[in-house]
Structure 1
Amino acid sequence: MSTTGIQQSPQKPVGGKDTFDTNQLVHSLVCVVVGLAIFLIPPPQGLTPQAMHMLGVFVGTILGLILQPLPTSSVAIIGMTVGMLTGALDVKKAAFSGLGSPSIWLIVAAFFIAQGFVSTGLGRRIALVFLSLLGKSSLGISYGLAAADLVLSPATPSNTARLGGILFPIITSVSDVQDSTPKSDESRKRIGAFLALTANNVNAITSAMFITAMAAGPVVSQLAQKSGVNISWGLWALACIVPGLLCLIVIPALIYKLFPPTIKHVPQAQADAKTELREMGSLSGQEWIMMVTFIVMLILWATGSIFHVNATAVAFLGVSVLLCTKIISWNDMASNKSAWSTLIFFGVLVGMAQPLNDLGVTGWAGKLIANMVHGLPWMLVLAILTFFYFFIHYMFASELAQVAAIYTLFVGVAVAAGVPAIAAALMLGVASGLIGAMTHYASGPAALIYGAGYVKTSEFLRIGLICGLITVSIFLTVGMGWWKVIGIW
């Protein structure tokens, strides 16, 4: 049973058309009124009318993604259309630019790779191995996946490749074994939704623990160096090992309490998994092809920064092999609604985010924050700036976009307020990874997890916010204490 290709939000067909109830109408009006209000407000000093127009369109679209008066991709297309018609989005330069983003196509490729794991049965075999080792509890499985993410993270510069290409197929297969699919609330809540939420938030933690664990990490290091702060790979890893491991221990257990799977104890699943593995026998020819392709992709992803091999190119190399060996077909790819829906909604948002930076909206917001923290004790300044840095990510569709837009500004504000330079650069660098799970458009991995359909928008936002606040708080408390011990401040 394939868990890919599921629509993100089930609709109620009536005569072949979507219904539009009172709640949807109210939600639509909220999006329009708020977006229009910002659109019409005279621009404050430092912003142009076009900047306010772009901000109004973006906020209205984000509200639409949260309230969902229409399916996610529909909201994104409408938002892009309004932006083009009003002139807020340049049709030639910005409106469709996000649809060509390599990171977004990496997500799309990950969906197709997941299909290969399902169609060959290799995903099921891997899932059964996990269940045979850790299948006594849903929580145990989540910790096993977290450990795998941690081990892979230092050598996988793309967190989308790590979660989407390596762990996501295992999650879907484990869920499939337990008859947990996005088709109904009862089914998805058995284990699939829990594993998806846990993997998404764990991925944000591992992305924050090493310079090489996400694409934004090297950019953070480079920008910090331009600000006079040198952060080596070893220093970053040493600084994050204690608070990071604590977060990895806390978050799966926290999600287990906040959003428990209906399947908690599965001792029989462990015995059944061992029995089925024996019955499956040795690997089939297609399983061998899928496994070798997967291992080669993993090696290329891990060494991409050394040999300058693009992660998206590697993903599509894998897809091409699967097509040539007929493990998947074009019809399989064309019918994968989750992949194409994710391409639309995430691509549109990335296209909207860049103009916000180019028009000076993000820089203007950063200066407002700088004025607010002037004169406060440096430890409090660092905490305030870090939380503001976290919350402002609601305006961004990727970690890299936020780092490029405001990281240097926030570091400069912090240092000017008396925060030790290394502590400021490291904390905001860590936060650049932790923000990746807070919304369904916060990062490539988040978009992929959301697109799979296991988790509803409200659930995604609630768990993402709580986990994000907890992990940021751990780094600001336990992390700062550890940094004092190792001499960072």
Structure 2
Amino acid sequence: MSPRTDTTNPAAETTTVVRTRFATMPPERQRLPVARRSVRPRPGRARILRLVALGLVLVAGAGMVLASVTRSSGDSAPTLPIAVTLTVFLLAVWAWTSTRLDDTLVAFLAAIALIVTGVLPASDFFSSLGDETIWLLIGAFVIASAVSSSGLALRGASHLLRFARGPRSLFHLTTVALTLTAFAVPATSGRAALAVPVYTAVSAVLPGRERVIRALALLMPTVVLLSAVGSLLGAGAHIVTDQLLRAAGEEGFTFLSWLWLGLPLAVVSSHLACEIILWRFTRREDRTIPLRMSTAEIGRSASTAVTGPLSSPERRAAVLLGGVILLWATEPLHHLSPALVALLGAVAAVTPGIGCLTFPAAIKRVPWSLLLFLAATLALASALTTTGAAAWLSSSALAPLRGLGAAGAVAFVLVVIAISTAAHLLIPSRSARSAAIIPVVIALAPALGVSPMAAAFASTAAAGFCHTLPSSAKPIAMFADPDIVSGGFTPQDLRRLSMLLAPAMFVLVTVFALWVWPLMGLPLLL
């Protein structure tokens, strides 16, 4: 039965009003456009575009291979290893954008193709699985599992939200709480999962405020995605970017340097998005009605104890998380690598009497698919560098633009930010977007006098916007699913938000890349 038929039943009003308030037209009028426009013509056009793109990739690859075979001494044509590497890379990008194959499977197929053709030594691929970054993420995920299982996150959020006196203060305090989780959970999907019980508890103490509840459902995944840039471990894409930079011979980022550059953007963009959501999805009377909630109310709604003294697991999780973050932030003082600190924290998290959960339970929560994806992309980056493919691409593609000076550099950065902002429409995975875009950015930036680190950081920051479609990011899909979140938003709401948030993020990242980050120690130009 459609929820709209329940609105006449007084007894069901409190449970259905949230869902019925979001319907703007009769159900039959909602289904007709989908049947006529989406089901038949679009897949056919999309299939044709995918085949055309594949044809262009194959033609480009065949042309490079043929040029490499017929090249003469002093010719600017690519060598055979360069041609093979670029062809495999383009095919991987096509698969990420045009097929439903798993991102990790595509990365592995590309790595295997390079190994079979002799471009990538098998030892280099296998050694990438033991890279320090992989162990950093393993330790970080184990620590995050301990914090999540202890209940510390919900207690902290409830104590922070009790200071809310109205919808605006509630939303901004929620933004602060979600931003802080970027340092506790190294994945946006994990942070969104932490936010679901908080949303459920808060929405339960807001009866009759459907617009506020819907705006809150939009706010939480939006802040989770935008605030991730504040931490090197905030998203797997950040690790991919750092890996690719180091593979290209760049210095890369430490936990502290990423925090220094990313946290200001995370704070500004998250609170800007908060104001946009308040302005676009609530009315003035919604924002002026006083609001008070207590930790006891939130605890009753969540069926979890959030009052009284900290439990033993919560105390252990707080000490563990605080100690690890402190050691990461003070790396220049003690010179312990972030991976070693994460490993020590992970061991402490599963040690009986010290930690909060068992070793088997912690290991089950580690996203091994993401770690294998990172290892495979590291191998691809190594091939792009060692074969000279990155250098050849830079010298060949941007040769006509080298004389443009600063104007060309700024134009390049603007194009990078624009492409990175819109890439989620083609590549749903944030890590896959970085794996596809960052190698090209690193290769092309020096030819125009742009710092590869600055260009890569700007691209990764802009990729934090992925709000147009529910399928563009896991946190968005999670809060758009009525089986997980009740009283949430519709795809139409998401598009209304994107029309304002996309240009705002483009301008914000541009301002940071051109003026703010150079003042903070990340110059744009070489």
TM-score, normalised with respect to structure 2: 0.58
Shift of 1:63: 2.9
- Aligned 8 A contact 1:240 1:479 in 2: no
Shift of 1:41: 2.4
Aligned length, in residue pairs: 403
Q: How does 1:293-442 map to 2 (within 5 A)?
A: 293-325=320-352, 327-336=356-365, 339-368=367-396, 370-376=398-404, 378-387=405-414, 390=417, 410=445, 413-414=448-449, 429-439=453-463
Matched, 1:55 2:55: no
- Aligned 8 A contact 1:73 1:345 in 2: yes
> Counterpart of 2:123 in 1: which secondary structure?
coil
Equivalent in the alignment of 2:101: 70
Shift of 1:358: 1.8
Shift of 1:141: 4.4
Q: 1:173 aligns with which of 194, 199, 203?
A: 194
Mapped to 1, the partners of 2:461 and 2:322 lie a distance apart of 27
The structure with more radius of gyration: 2
What does the per-residue CA deviation read over 1:360-411, in whole Å, with 9 as the maximum and x for residues that have no partner?
A: 22222322454232443x4422312323555798899798999999769845
- Aligned 8 A contact 2:155 2:306 in 1: no
Matched, 1:114 2:151: no
Equivalent in the alignment of 1:184: none
> Where do 5+ consecutive residues of structure 2 fail to align?
1-41, 68-75, 202-213, 233-237, 300-304, 467-472, 481-490
Q: How does 1:84-95 map to 2 (within 5 A)?
A: 84-94=115-125
- Aligned 8 A contact 2:462 2:506 in 1: no
Are the structure 2 counterparts of residues 258 and 469 from structure 1 closer, same or farther at C-alpha, using a change threshold of 3 Å? farther
> Counterpart of 1:202 in 2: which secondary structure?
helix
Equivalent in the alignment of 1:228: none
What does the per-residue CA deviation read over 1:122-172, in whole Å, with 9 as the maximum and x for residues that have no partner?
A: 1221232343345946742464157758xxxxxxxxxxx846459987654
- Aligned 8 A contact 2:57 2:87 in 1: yes
Q: Which moved further from structure 2: 169-178 or 251-260?
A: 251-260
Equivalent in the alignment of 1:419: none
> Counterpart of 2:195 in 1: which secondary structure?
helix
Mapped to 2, the partners of 1:103 and 1:431 lie a distance apart of 21
Mapped to 1, the partners of 2:157 and 2:175 lie a distance apart of 14
Shift of 1:300: 0.6
Root-mean-square deviation (CA, aligned residues, Å) is 5.5
Shift of 1:301: 0.8
Are the structure 2 counterparts of residues 255 and 332 from structure 1 closer, same or farther at C-alpha, using a change threshold of 3 Å? farther
Query: What one-letter code is carried by the residue in structure 2 that aligns with 1:281?
Result: G
Q: 1:271 aligns with which of 293, 305, 318?
A: 293
Shift of 1:283: 0.7
Mapped to 2, the partners of 1:266 and 1:359 lie a distance apart of 62
Equivalent in the alignment of 2:206: none
Mapped to 1, the partners of 2:222 and 2:438 lie a distance apart of 24
Equivalent in the alignment of 1:10: none
Q: Which moved further from structure 2: 297-306 or 267-276?
A: 267-276
Matched, 1:41 2:41: no
Shift of 1:355: 1.0
Mapped to 1, the partners of 2:101 and 2:439 lie a distance apart of 31
Q: How does 1:198-237 map to 2 (within 5 A)?
A: 198-204=223-229
Query: What one-letter code is carried by the residue in structure 2 that aligns with 1:296?
Result: G
Equivalent in the alignment of 2:70: none
- Aligned 8 A contact 1:116 1:328 in 2: yes
Mapped to 1, the partners of 2:281 and 2:141 lie a distance apart of 25
Shift of 1:335: 2.9
TM-score, normalised with respect to structure 1: 0.62
Are the structure 2 counterparts of residues 69 and 115 from structure 1 closer, same or farther at C-alpha, using a change threshold of 3 Å? same
What does the per-residue CA deviation read over 1:197-221, in whole Å, with 9 as the maximum and x for residues that have no partner?
A: 53443343787xxxxx99969x99x
- Aligned 8 A contact 2:324 2:341 in 1: yes
Query: What one-letter code is carried by the residue in structure 2 that aligns with 1:328?
Result: L
What does the per-residue CA deviation read over 1:88-116, in whole Å, with 9 as the maximum and x for residues that have no partner?
A: 4332223x343333223323333322221
Are the structure 2 counterparts of residues 265 and 323 from structure 1 closer, same or farther at C-alpha, using a change threshold of 3 Å? farther
Q: Which has the higher contact order (CA 8 A, sep 6+)?
A: 1
Equivalent in the alignment of 1:125: 155
- Aligned 8 A contact 2:103 2:432 in 1: no
Equivalent in the alignment of 1:471: 508
Mapped to 2, the partners of 1:241 and 1:170 lie a distance apart of 17
Are the structure 2 counterparts of residues 194 and 363 from structure 1 closer, same or farther at C-alpha, using a change threshold of 3 Å? farther
Are the structure 2 counterparts of residues 127 and 216 from structure 1 closer, same or farther at C-alpha, using a change threshold of 3 Å? same
Are the structure 2 counterparts of residues 246 and 216 from structure 1 closer, same or farther at C-alpha, using a change threshold of 3 Å? same
Are the structure 2 counterparts of residues 433 and 139 from structure 1 closer, same or farther at C-alpha, using a change threshold of 3 Å? farther
> Counterpart of 2:410 in 1: which secondary structure?
helix
Mapped to 2, the partners of 1:389 and 1:364 lie a distance apart of 19
> Counterpart of 1:70 in 2: which secondary structure?
coil
Mapped to 2, the partners of 1:42 and 1:93 lie a distance apart of 25
Mapped to 1, the partners of 2:289 and 2:88 lie a distance apart of 51
Mapped to 2, the partners of 1:253 and 1:384 lie a distance apart of 30
Query: What one-letter code is carried by the residue in structure 1 that aligns with 2:457?
Result: G
Q: Which moved further from structure 2: 469-478 or 405-414?
A: 405-414
Mapped to 1, the partners of 2:82 and 2:287 lie a distance apart of 53
Mapped to 2, the partners of 1:36 and 1:266 lie a distance apart of 60
